[in-house]
């Protein structure tokens, strides 16, 4: 276990306050990247003390493995018009950054006033992320993490804490 339910709740409250201060006015659209951000997004928007709208994106790059496939597939596009709005893209974990960079490029083409990223976890892997992550919950180890919305092959999202999966290596005798 890396972060307990109480530690996560405290950090989400801090992020909500920081986001409230960052966006004092204007139309704010909080855009959740499903499925991993669902639990985090639900808790986060209740901590943001200003009017906002919520919509979702579904993009996939993992499948059933523990490593990204490298290909970003957009399964659901938000219905909400983005032009002139502040868009806060909420993600569960920033790994290589390929998914986020692809999505931000897509969103910016729709002429929002701004696009910022809020991630529960950031692994700080130097790779394909071309944009800064403005709001980060926790700096994360480069391990496969589960719980609080993060899954392994659609399992373990329901855990109220975040933990690491340690792969067992077979021992040859």
Hey, which residues are catalytic here? 95
* Coil vs helix vs strand at 9: helix
CA distances from 2 to 7, 103, 161 (A): 10, 28, 8
Residue 49 near residue 18, CB atoms below 8 Å = no
- Measured N-to-C along each axis, helices 38-45 and 5-22 cross at an angle, to the nearest 10 degrees, of 60
* Coil vs helix vs strand at 46: coil
């Amino acid at each position: 276990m890396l972060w307990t339910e109480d530690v996560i709740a405290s950090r989400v409250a801090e992020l909500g306050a920081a986001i409230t201060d960052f966006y004092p006015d204007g139309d704010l659209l909080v855009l959740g990247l499903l499925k991993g951000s669902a639990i985090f997004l639900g808790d986060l928007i209740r901590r943001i003390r200003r009017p906002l709208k919520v919509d979702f994106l579904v993009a996939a790059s993992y499948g059933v493995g523990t490593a990204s496939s490298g290909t970003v597939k957009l399964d659901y596009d938000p219905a909400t018009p983005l032009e002139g709005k502040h868009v806060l893209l909420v993600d569960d974990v920033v790994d290589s950054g390929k998914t986020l960079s692809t999505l931000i490029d897509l969103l910016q083409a729709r002429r929002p006033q701004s696009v910022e990223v809020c991630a529960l976890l950031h692994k700080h892997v130097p790779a394909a992320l071309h944009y800064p992550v403005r709001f980060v919950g926790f700096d994360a180890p480069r391990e496969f993490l589960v719980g609080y919305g993060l899954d392994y092959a659609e399992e373990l999202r329901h855990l109220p804490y975040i933990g690491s999966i340690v792969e067992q290596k077979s021992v040859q005798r």
